[in-house]
Structure 1
């Protein structure tokens, strides 16, 4: 007993939250999404940057030449 008033209040609060619609400042949202002025390009590149492995080619060239097509039969994991 005594739960009716508590449940009614919780239901009213849930309904208020569900249908609450704050005033939206669309111009502020547009400014935020646009970003700062003067930045012409995005910091994300369209093409991923691949690391330069040319320094390692000479170092590991012997290892690549020794591999005669043998299959590694070790289990991994």
Structure 2
């Protein structure tokens, strides 16, 4: 017992995914899948790099 609410939620999500139109940027997806990410500049560093252990 108790599956009714969960199943209703899954059905709602499935219908939403099936019938809603999505704007998909396929070129961005292709770049991500092929590993062509934007490389950070040499002088850019993340905010936590100062706290990283230096070996």
- When normalised by structure 2's length, the TM-score is 0.39
Q: Which has the larger radius of gyration?
A: 1
Q: Which has the higher contact order (CA 8 A, sep 6+)?
A: 2
